[in-house]
Structure 1
Amino acid sequence: MADDEVVALYGESGQVVGSAPRSVVRARNLRHAASSVMVRDPTGRIYLHRRTTTKDVYPGLLDFAAGGVVLAGEDPAVGAVREVEEELGVAGVPLEPFGTAHYADEHTDYLAVRFVTTWGGPIRWQPEEVSWGVWVTVEELVRRLDEEPESLVPDSVAVWSSTIRSWAHG
């Protein structure tokens, strides 16, 4: 991803309020939107991948959602399709909308536009973003949430953990 991409800025109400270059959004921690796509296989496992150590936010941590910033003028659903294809090679399958959630910390402040998809094909990593990955059961992911939370990307944990836990219990 180029640092000069123009990112849509979002207000408190979840509406687009402007735009700024990605580098400015990161430097000033401006509120934006990002897609967050959970990829499951036909048996219900979730794809868990390690972010490269060169990522600008949460380098080297494990993530169970693909995604990225919503660009200026871009529909979040279109951005989600683009991101999951770029990062994991998942293409040509419908993304099920799964609501939104707000996340903010010292690194990022964004509206997560969540989606779930089922994928039975091969995973193809984008080498600049993903260093490796593996399919895990929902129960294994819950175990990691409970026992190894520091190894996981905190924003994905925040916006998805209650959903993952509900899948484990029902």
Structure 2
Amino acid sequence: MNPADEILDIVDAHDRVVDRRPRGEAYALGLRHRCVFIQARDTAGRLFVHRRTATKLVFPSLYDMFVGGVVGAGESYDGAALREAEEELGVTGLAQPEFLFKFLYDDGAGRSWWSAVYEVRCELPVRPQVEEVQWHAFLPEEEVEQRLGAWEWVPDGLAAYERLRAFRVGR
């Protein structure tokens, strides 16, 4: 199936479903939907970082420190988190990612989605989807921090990363 044809739940400012539309239409019209962000770490605690392919519908060729994507119509955040993590990392049998928090991402320019943030440990060898991931590596968090100003990152991932840092400090 073409990703633009995937059906998404359209939600309001309180994350209540108000409609269902194809992904391409939701993006084109700036309709609020749901996404999951999963921070994957290897056994050494390093973060999975990747560069998106140039063919992605949103934020092509940018770097990201999360795997994830849209939540399909009728799908739970938890279900989408596991599905997306396994798809993007190219693994099966991953543990259920741990839910941390949810926030409303809004770039002020017509892109808005409810964003559920998760974390998972991946002890399996990764084989990312070539359609989704152009480059990948597990990097120490200090290196990710150093590259924040040097690489062009997906803006929603940066927003999630900043919130995740604040969340961890507040624990």
State if a TM-score over 0.5 links the two structures.
Answer: yes
Distance 1:112 1:95 in 2: 14
Distance 2:112 2:118 in 1: 19
**Any gaps of 5 or more consecutive residues in structure 1?**
none
In structure 1, what residue type is equivalent to 2:97?
A: L
> Contact conserved, 1:70 with 1:76, CA < 8 A, in 2?
yes
Is 1:109 the counterpart of 2:112? The answer is yes
Q: Alignment partner of 1:68: what SS?
A: strand
Distance 2:27 2:132 in 1: 17
Aligned length: 167
Is 1:98 the counterpart of 2:87? The answer is no
The correspondence for 2:147, drawn from 133, 144, 165, is 144
**Any gaps of 5 or more consecutive residues in structure 2?**
none
Matches within 5 A, 1:46-125: 46-92=47-93, 93-105=95-107, 106=109, 108-125=111-128
Distance 2:143 2:92 in 1: 26
Q: Which residue is equivalent to 1:44? A: 45
- 1:142-170: per-residue Cα shift (whole Å, max 9, x none)? 1222x22x5111100001224247769x9
Task: Give how far 1:136 is off.
Answer: 0.8
In structure 1, what residue type is equivalent to 2:117?
A: R
Distance 1:55 1:22 in 2: 12
Computed over aligned residues only, the root mean square deviation of the Cα atoms, in angstroms, reads: 1.9
> Contact conserved, 1:39 with 1:47, CA < 8 A, in 2?
yes
Cα distance change, pair 14–40 in 1 and its aligned pair in 2 (3 A): same
> Contact conserved, 1:84 with 1:91, CA < 8 A, in 2?
no
- 1:73-109: per-residue Cα shift (whole Å, max 9, x none)? 1111111111111111243212100111111223621
- 1:34-83: per-residue Cα shift (whole Å, max 9, x none)? 01111011221100001001111111011111111111111111111111
- 1:92-127: per-residue Cα shift (whole Å, max 9, x none)? 212100111111223621011111000111111111
Moved more, 54-63 or 136-145: 136-145
Q: Which residue is equivalent to 2:18? A: 17
In structure 2, what residue type is equivalent to 1:99?
A: F
